[in-house]
Chains A and B, each alone.
Chain A
């Protein structure tokens, strides 16, 4: 997965825009911060999600964290493998560890999402 081609949100989700469908996961930085992911809760296919609102939960030994939708739309595919085996998110967050695909109604609203360089600058500034 070319990480340069992804867009990033401040809440550590990545998005790959593929026409009207956006593939969503969480970043390696987020996985490393969480460590030891134990549980992932993802929405069912057909659920409407809203940009900036929670679409699921990721839990580690340390904490439970909401996952935020980078775009609005309808969930059209869910990676059930990551729910069964959360470790795959840690081993390959940008590939096997993808979480959901969202179909956007029109041209997706990508406002507020960052390019990799800007996201990396943000995480570096957060002191980790």
Chain B
């Protein structure tokens, strides 16, 4: 048995299907991936993301050091601002993708569960004496509340105005009477936010959000939602063998504005390396991770994630293909168990919410 989040018992009581995810026992499906997905797109989905790593960085040298280990800028973060960033190794490969938040007197770094220990080790190699790193993952729970009704649902129990928070901003907040933290962030392509609160308070807040009409959503639909939203998932679109520029994340890499670990290697990467694209298949079959992609019969890449999109009712995938096959509208073939299935390069994201 793996590690359990503070909400594990709730999931088990609801007979969720539990799987091992990065060493955690996590709910993958409560009722149906489609139903949970649609609830998030049309109403409110509630996600236990307590398995994600929550790391506090503080000390006089915190900003300067973070600007060395992160590809995106930390120096010009406003108080409460959240920013997406990559962590690279010296070779420019991706160690993780993270969210960094500037708190009043310190920084919060939210990292992938699968990379938490690796990153703590990596950070430990370069932290100077005036920077202190503390892993607070086990002390706090983290709940994502996502969907067109999510802000309204959370607002019932949160004392600061969530609609007053801009996208990718955060604030200390009292959540159901308990000191916690709210951010206007998410991994679904919907409006909403993420709450961090003491582990012992998690189930009470979770239950109140469920009573307010939110649908519990497992990792299965979390994956289909992020895929539709064109968001990379570490282990698929990002690995130590993939650099963020080829993954289409150059906007989070500030090579011209600062130095950081991996920068020098990024500048020498082969411009002919594969790049991340979105594919739409002309078939109901799913293009799964590892499936070969051909153009006019010649191999040009591989699928990294695929699913049947509940919103588009179409088979969609993300893939890495050679640059000359990456242009929007390019006709490709995906090798689905020996059958050449027609696919077209389409813009990411596959789905955008109406604003």
Contact = CB atoms under 8 A, between A and B. Distances in A.
A3 B285 CA distance: 30
A35 B286 contact: no
Contact of B284 (A36, A38, A62): A38
A38 B34 CA distance: 10
A61 B286 CA distance: 8
A57 B33 CA distance: 20
B32 interface: yes
A119 interface: no
B224 interface: yes
A36 B285 contact: no
Contacts of A62: 33, 220
B285 A61 contact: no
A38 B32 contact: no
B337 A38 contact: no
A95 to B, nearest CB: 20
B73 to A, nearest CB: 37
B307 A61 contact: yes
Interface string A38-62: 1101000000000000000101011
Interface residues of B, number: 15
Contacts of A41: 285
Interface in B283-300: 284-286, 288
Counting chain B CB atoms within 10 Å of each CB, which of A41, A59, A62 scores highest? Answer: A62
A38 B286 contact: yes
A61 to B, nearest CB: 5
Contacts of A30: none
A83 to B, nearest CB: 9
A38 B308 CA distance: 7
A101 B261 CA distance: 62
A64 B33 contact: no
Nearest first, the 3 A-B pairs at minimum CB distance are: A38-B308, A39-B284, A36-B33
Interface of A: 35-36, 38-39, 41, 57, 59, 61-62, 64
